[in-house]
């Protein structure tokens, strides 16, 4: 079937995110800057069509988010919606996008349900998911011999999904869940929750939350001397902005997984500096995801000459993603980009700066154990200690990641 040009001679993008709550700093208003950088880098227009960006604060409410998306679809004929931060908001929004045959690029939400139970041909999950983050961090820590875990989870879909994935990874690797609790989302007082976790005697306290909730939990743990007494804090979803807010004293020893890091190589540093000059802040992995996904989307429209949803989505999947990557990201047919994530540990230096040391690789959306040949390819990636890259058993997910010529883990998104 042939498609003629771009509808309305205009490409309309909606950016839906938490602009004022717990996810404001790691994603929030600065995400629109990342989107606009992608638009500028492609020339400001595509095949003569203007590019318009709408933005809105979903206030982490599925009702508010759904209302905004409906209005964008019905009144503004939006072509694509991105951001989609809180998993509860995202799960509501992607259903509306599928009904209207519009495209969603999920760049903030983490729940693996987005590409499992709620998979659709109308959205692509970018950056990370709970499966990748739990495999990166929980496997690395259990492999070090820390087997007894306490789980503190945000009480909504994201926290539930992360709790389930962490439980699976810990038990599969010989560990035990000795206790758990769920806190309201969002929360400002973590005193009782952290005292329960401390009293459990667990080797590791997993924080299955993000943004302001993680910051508050880690700071509370610092007040109670939890890490000083020997318990490990695992930030299952931790942003660079969180680390700055937490501070040196409380952040040291934190273990976490990142899908992108601004100081990883020359390419990431150059883009991050452009972002900092524009916004006054260094970008997070989600800001990088918003940039790369928007640019990839616009390049697909340019290549196909249409903004038809399914045509563009097919083109995006057929075209290798190399933005920020020497390890090429690969499109998974069920609706996700699979990329390499690295597990990190923060160490305090004498200069009162923090050093991030890497330990484990993981990849979102891929489930089955890799072949011996695949493991051999990654064997040179020192200081990586253990490999946690997995493939889904689906037949169509055969060879999904190509390693380009590189001797170091670089440019990962």
Task: Note whether 129 and 111 are within 8 A (CB).
Answer: yes
Least confident of 104-113, 146-155, 256-265: 256-265
Report the range of poorest mean pLDDT among 100-104, 133-137, 273-277, 297-301: 133-137
- What percent of the chain has a predicted confidence (pLDDT) above 90? 57
Whole-number pLDDT of residue 136:
80
> Quick one: which of 55, 103, 46, 105 has its CA closest to 321?
105
Residue 391: left if φ>0, alpha if ψ -120 to 50, beta else—which one?
Answer: beta
State residue 5's pLDDT score: 84
Q: Which pLDDT score is estimated for 359?
A: 39
Q: Could you tell me which CATH number the domain at 132-258 has? A: 3.40.50.2300
Q: pLDDT confidence of 345, banded at 50, 70, 90?
A: low
Whether the per-residue pLDDT at 234 is higher than 90: the answer is yes
- Under 8 Å CB-to-CB from 314, ≥6 apart: which residues? none
Each domain of the chain, given as residue ranges in start order, spans 7-128+265-338, 132-258
Among 139-148, 238-247, 344-353, the least confident range: 344-353
Cα torsion through 19, 25, 26, 32, rounded to 10: 50
For residues 39-68, give the mean pLDDT: 97
- Residue 182: pLDDT band by 50, 70, 90 thresholds? very high
Length of the chain: 413
Domain boundaries 7-128+265-338, CATH class: alpha beta
Mean pLDDT of the chain: 80
Q: Say if 7-128+265-338 and 132-258 have the same CATH topology.
A: yes
Give pLDDT, residue 93.
97
Q: Is the pLDDT of residue 161 over 70?
A: yes
Strand 402-403 and strand 386-388: pairing?
A: unpaired
pLDDT the model gives residue 355: 44
Looking at residue 249, its pLDDT comes to: 78
More confident residue, 1 or 174: 174
Give 307-324 pLDDT, tens digit per residue. Answer: 999 999 989 888 877 776
């Amino acid at each position: 079937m042939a498609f003629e040009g771009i509808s309305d001679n205009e490409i309309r993008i909606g950016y839906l995110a938490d602009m004022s709550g717990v996810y404001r700093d790691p994603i929030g208003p600065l995400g629109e800057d990342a989107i606009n950088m992608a638009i500028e880098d492609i020339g400001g227009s595509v095949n003569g069509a203007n590019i318009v960006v709408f933005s809105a604060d979903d206030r982490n409410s599925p009702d508010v988010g759904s209302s905004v998306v409906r209005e964008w679809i019905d009144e503004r004929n939006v072509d694509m919606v991105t951001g989609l931060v809180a998993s509860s908001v995202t799960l509501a929004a992607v259903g509306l996008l599928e009904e209207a045959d519009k495209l969603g690029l999920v760049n903030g939400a983490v729940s693996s349900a987005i590409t499992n139970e709620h998979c659709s041909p109308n959205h692509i999950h970018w950056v990370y998911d709970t499966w990748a983050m739990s495999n990166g961090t929980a496997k690395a820590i259990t492999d070090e011999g820390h087997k007894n875990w306490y789980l503190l989870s945000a009480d909504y879909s994201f926290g539930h999904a992360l709790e389930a994935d962490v439980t699976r990874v810990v038990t599969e690797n010989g560990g035990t869940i000795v206790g758990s609790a769920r806190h309201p989302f969002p929360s400002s007082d973590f005193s009782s929750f952290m005292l329960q976790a401390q009293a459990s005697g667990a080797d590791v306290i997993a924080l299955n939350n993000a943004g302001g909730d993680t910051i508050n939990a880690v700071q509370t743990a610092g007040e109670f001397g939890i890490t000083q007494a020997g318990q490990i804090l695992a930030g299952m979803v931790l942003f660079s902005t969180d680390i700055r807010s937490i501070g040196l004293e409380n952040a040291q020893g934190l273990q976490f997984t990142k899908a992108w890091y601004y100081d990883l190589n020359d390419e990431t540093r150059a883009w991050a500096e452009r972002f900092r000059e524009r916004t006054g802040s260094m970008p997070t992995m989600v800001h990088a995801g918003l940039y790369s996904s928007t640019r990839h989307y616009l390049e697909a429209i340019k290549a196909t000459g249409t903004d038809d949803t399914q045509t563009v989505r097919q083109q995006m999947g057929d075209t290798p993603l190399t933005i920020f990557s020497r390890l090429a990201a690969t499109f998974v047919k069920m609706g996700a980009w699979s990329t390499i994530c690295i597990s990190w540990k923060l160490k305090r230096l004498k200069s009162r700066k923090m050093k991030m040391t890497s330990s484990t690789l993981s990849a979102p959306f891929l489930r089955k154990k890799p072949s011996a040949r695949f493991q051999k390819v990654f064997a040179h990636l020192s200081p990586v200690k253990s490999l946690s890259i997995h493939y889904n058993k689906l037949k169509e997910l055969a060879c999904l990641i190509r390693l380009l010529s590189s001797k170091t883990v670089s440019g990962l998104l």
